[in-house]
Chain A
């Protein structure tokens, strides 16, 4: 898909998508004039198939599928370097967040399942315990990603150095925390939030 010809027309440019991203991120997309400074300073650029400036370019042309299908947005480290250096104050980090949210919602085919899995488990932990249960995070991740032996060698030394908390109590106010999650879901069902 990356290299195929792009046919532009009012139908193929999903400009509503662009407006949605701008609204979610609070940043202009049109301001980008492709200077390339963001890509130049991005620490994750070499892991991405589309460097940051190309993501914005595709976005400017409303190319919904090309942007969301790839793994590039999932390799963003949220280091905020792009936002800091953009000459036009395009908040690229916020745009990346917005793109990830839309990809997450779309649950469409994305090549980057591991990063998404890690995010999903992290958030699930908050919902269940209130605070991050690191050991559970690592263990379940290994299980669900099929990488049972990942970081296996670190396990014992982390444990003896007291860095692995095996048992974890739920917060006292876990009920209030659950309510935060369910209320957000409610807002979304009602279409009052993205």
Chain B
């Protein structure tokens, strides 16, 4: 565990989506860390972690890709900060699985043609902010309190499951997202579908699945009285945001619920300029809501 220092520094693994469909997550993360004066340096030549499709059909490939990323991350100082929940999960699972299975370690080492270097601590942005940086310091850094904003924190599947791997929070009743966004003065709501699956990868091959599962999540957030949903995963974001109109059409219900990446809200609270927060990239525009709450 990194002892609390006055100056924090991290190596950074953005993951494929953050350079493409989730680029507002990348932008707001960089903006937030800059505002909080936390160092963030991207790992050079990182590769795709494989996400779900790799381990779904080829676990050895998935372990090898992540092991390669961990090896590459040693080129940059500082624990490895990860924003995407899936990448985070894969990197941590790799560390766990290879620690327990000698045969797989041999196989992966052969695939990489190099001895394994897996020890870099992998941390999600949430634990960096809650534990390393500290909620008090975060609260102190708030320049624009998000009071009046009612946020439904959506964990999805991979931040807390499978148990004992992410080491982030309790797997059935986590509170880390609520605590982090709570430090900005935002109100968090209690709702039933915080950790239910959004439909994940089926958005490509079987979108009907997403319409059903993400539809239930939106309905639950609305029942809980939320103004918006906060996520930490590009795929969850895509399913809830990009397909929201389709879900409305299919279900006949109106949601109009903006879906924020956590760092967009945090950076907004920390005083980062809204032009750097990627609000324009969101399919469900947050502007009406933020204007109504005097946050723009």
Which A residues are closer than 8 A to B by beta carbons? 24, 26, 43-44, 47, 75, 77-81, 83-84, 91, 93, 97-98, 100-101, 104, 114-119, 122-123, 125-126, 130-132, 134-135, 137-138, 141, 145, 150-151, 154, 157-158, 161-165, 171-173, 176-177, 179-181, 183-184, 187, 192-194
Q: Chain B residues near A154 (CB, 8 Å)?
A: 242
Given contact pairs A114-B206, A125-B48, a sample of 9 additional A-B residue pairs in the complex whose CB atoms are under 8 Å apart: A78-B52, A84-B162, A84-B163, A123-B58, A158-B21, A162-B281, A180-B68, A183-B112, A187-B60
Partner of B53, one of A26, A123, A135, A158: A123
- The majority secondary structure among interface residues of chain B is helix
CB pair B59 A24 closer than 8 Å:
yes
7 tightest Cβ-Cβ pairs between the two chains A and B = A132-B16, A80-B161, A79-B197, A122-B53, A118-B205, A79-B157, A119-B53
Q: Is B102 an interface residue (CB 8 A)?
A: no
Select from chain B the residue with minimum beta-carbon distance to A165: B20
* A141 near B64: Cβ-Cβ < 8 Å: no
A150–B107 alpha-carbon span in the complex (Å): 40
Known: A83-B162, A171-B45. A137 touches B204 (CB 8 A): yes
Closest to A194 in B: B60
Is B16 a contact of A138 with CB atoms below 8 Å?
no
Docked-complex contact B21 and A164, CB < 8 angstroms: yes
Chain B residues in the interface with A (C-beta under 8 A)? 16-17, 19-21, 23, 45-48, 50-61, 64-65, 68, 97, 100-101, 107, 110-113, 157-158, 161-163, 171-172, 196-197, 199-202, 204-207, 209, 213, 242, 280-283
